[in-house]
Amino acid sequence: MTAPETDSPRLRAAAPRTPDWRAQLPVVGVVALGGGAGAAARYAVSLWGTRPAGGFPWQTFWTNVTGCAVIGVFMVVITEVLAAHRLVRPFFGTGVLGGFTTFSTYAVDIQKLVDTGHARTALAYLAATPLAALLAVWAAAAATRRVLTRRQR
């Protein structure tokens, strides 16, 4: 049984606080600048070599794996070693590396492989990319910690 509303104390709900959008402008700006730089670097990598129809998309694969390895190193350094400016992480982590890695192209590559009758290659690529990317982040972070620990001794 519930108490009638007249018996319950009325608490005023705090007014929702609206974020000051102007405080986010520097973050948006550095993410955009970093994203442009990362996307340009990714495009440059995509121009190297050619891929035969139905071939494994090695450029995209290595771009994603390399970007994930760099994020592993970067996150260890930025969170465990350096006290960096508040805009470093959004610029480099979200912007540059977000623009460089390309999981949207990964999805398009899979679709193209399936559409051209190369389902086995698509399935191998579908499984290999996230596994290699996660392994790259883990291995790079672990190696960075190991190197930094040895340097401190």
Residue type, 98: G
Is 1's pLDDT higher than 70? no
Is 98's pLDDT higher than 70? yes
Return the exposure string of 23-51: e unless at least 16 CB atoms fall within 10 Å of the residue's CB, then b. Answer: eeeebeebbebbbebbbebbeebeeeeee
List the single range of 93-102, 111-120, 144-153 with lowest mean pLDDT: 144-153
Mean pLDDT, rounded, for 77-88 = 89
d(CA 96, CA 42): 10
Mean pLDDT, rounded, for 86-105 = 92
Condensed to tens digits (0 to 9), the pLDDT of residues 28-58 reads: 999 999 999 999 999 998 888 777 788 899 9
Mean pLDDT, rounded, for 115-140 = 96
Mean pLDDT, rounded, for 87-105 = 92
Is 2's pLDDT higher than 80? no
Q: Are 89 and 82 in contact (CB under 8 A)?
A: no
**Total Cβ atoms within 10 A of residue 89:** 18
| 0.85 exceeded by pTM | no
Residue 6: its pLDDT value, please? 56
